[in-house]
Amino acid sequence: MISRRSALRLMATGASTALLPAAARPAPAIDLQLGMRGSIDAGAQGIRPGGGDKMSRKLGELIARAASQNVPLFLPPGDYQVSDLVLPHGSRITGVARASRLVYAGSGFLLRADGVGHVALSNLVIDGANRRLGDETPALVHLHRVADLAIDNCQIIGSSKSALQLEQCGGRIERSRISAASDYGLYALDSVGLAVSGNIVFDCGNGGILIHRRSKGNDGTLVSGNRLYRIGAVNGGTGQYGNAVNLFRADNVMVTGNQISQSAFSAIRANSASNVQIANNHCLGSGETAIYSEFTFEGAAISGNIVDGAANGISVVNFNEGGRLAVISNNLVRNLSAKGPYDLEEAIFGVGISAEADTAITGNVIEGVPLWGMALGFGNYLRNVIATGNIVRQAKVGCAVTVVEGAGAALISGNLFQGMQDGGVIGYRWKAPATGELARGGNEAARLAHLTIENNRVV
């Protein structure tokens, strides 16, 4: 029996502990077995750090057994030199973050799944060790037709090709680090309800996160809250490679809230991707155009982004290919360069925001551009573009607008231009200036029937 004195002593101890700051309280006991309850422990089944064909076979059998029993497989800390692991339906492999390592031993592939309902990988390091993958293997982790994929808190590193390739997959890739891939970090083809969020992707040879489709259509992938940096273009080209986030033929994709820096070409490049939303991203130090919506697309909402350092800021172009219908609003574009990553006679660098058809450019601030703050149309490719309520500072020309025969309507109104070298609004024939200052109206502006230029201020 507890005496009254003992009871009072216990009560006093509890009260004094409760008054301590959280950092000073005794830590509660943690059951280290908690994460393994209900799972098969690979270590208890004879799987030991090391490698060889026998180890790969044993681990593959254990993965299949755990999947058939619908339980996770727990991989204790250690380096497991394995290859050619096939993931059946229901595979769930988990480990201790940064300590449980599947290291590619060579010979073909590391992880593969095809035509299964569910696969989950968590708390694993998946290391390609820069070893050669088989000729038919596009990535260190290659998943095909996985309906519900979950990759969480993993590291996928050191692939001699792409780190992760998904085809016709849905699910989520989150809180993972993907790095040191010779080709792409993540290549997702024909996705079905995919979410890519909260990942860190860096030091990839030719691209970061690619969302592609074999033919143009609905995709709906969400790319949000990722950090991407040092994305190269080892294969060269003029934009096929070197993009941190790249969409191709993928409609209805959202690219939001990402932190992107040091891309060889674009931070975000949407090629033939309709109804794309590109919002609230930081795009720093891009080698070419920071944000690109190009070629055969209809619909792009580009808003709230910060572009600091690029050859061009935001381009919504290729009306000649059918590119049209956009809103470009509330973006900050600054510190551009007149030099891009390649030399072509037709290339134009040093432009803040460009648009050609059915586009509203409103409420943007553009500062420090060596050529044009805004460019409306090119040649005879211009239709229904408005530029209103923008601020352009420190540019050669505030707004360049095409005056080539056949160009459609444009409205340039209520913009503020400060520190222009050659003028606030100048008409161009392709790349050559063809008018004087138009920003203040006058007879020359009045003769250009396709343009309405009013209420602008040049200081």
- What confidence category does residue 9 fall into, taking pLDDT thresholds of 50, 70 and 90? very low
- What confidence category does residue 441 fall into, taking pLDDT thresholds of 50, 70 and 90? confident
Is the pLDDT score of 259 beyond 80?
yes
Whole-angstrom distance, CA of residue 305 vs CA of residue 291: 9
Q: pLDDT digits over 332-369, tens only?
A: 999 999 999 999 989 999 999 999 999 999 999 999 99
Is the pLDDT score of 25 beyond 70?
no
Phi-psi region of 234 (alpha: psi -120 to 50; beta: other; left: phi over 0): alpha
Output the pLDDT for position 7: 42
CA distances from 191 to 220, 239, 247, 295, 354 (A): 8, 22, 12, 21, 30
Q: Looking at per-residue confidence, does 133 or 35 come out higher? A: 133
Tokens for 429, please give them. Answer: 């024939």
- In-domain check, residue 344: no
Q: Looking at per-residue confidence, does 27 or 54 come out higher? A: 54
DSSP string covering 128-187, please? -TTPPPPTT--EEEEEEEEEEEEEES-EEE--SSEEEEEES--EEEES-EEE--SSEEEE
Nearest CA-CA partner of 320 in 420, 404, 435: 404
CATH of the domain at 56: 2.160.20.10
| Degrees, nearest 5: CA angle 279-280-284 | 110
Q: pLDDT digits over 274-322, tens only?
A: 999 999 999 999 999 999 999 999 999 999 999 999 999 999 999 999 9
- The reply to whether the predicted model has a pTM over 0.75 is yes
Of all residues in the chain, what percent are helix, strand and coil, respectively (each to 5)?
10, 50, 35
- Domain encompassing residue 195: 37-204
Which percentage of the chain shows pLDDT scores above 70? 92
- In-domain check, residue 408: no
CA distances from 66 to 32, 42, 60, 123, 352 (A): 21, 10, 10, 17, 55
Output the pLDDT for position 107: 84
- In-domain check, residue 272: no
Output the pLDDT for position 186: 99
- What confidence category does residue 20 fall into, taking pLDDT thresholds of 50, 70 and 90? very low
Mean of all residue pLDDT scores within the chain = 93
- In-domain check, residue 197: yes
Is the pLDDT score of 156 beyond 70?
yes
Q: pLDDT digits over 175-197, tens only?
A: 999 999 999 999 999 999 999 99
Whole-angstrom distance, CA of residue 376 vs CA of residue 203: 36
- In-domain check, residue 170: yes
- In-domain check, residue 151: yes
- In-domain check, residue 21: no
CA distances from 393 to 95, 143, 305, 458 (A): 53, 49, 18, 10
- In-domain check, residue 10: no
DSSP string covering 307-356, please? EEEESEEEEE--GGGT-EEEEEES-EEEEE-S--SS--TT----EEEEE-
Q: What is the mean pLDDT of residues 50-55?
A: 86
CA distances from 225 to 20, 153, 203 (A): 36, 15, 18
Domain count, the chain: 1
| Degrees, nearest 5: CA angle 311-317-319 | 155
Which percentage of the chain shows pLDDT scores above 90? 89
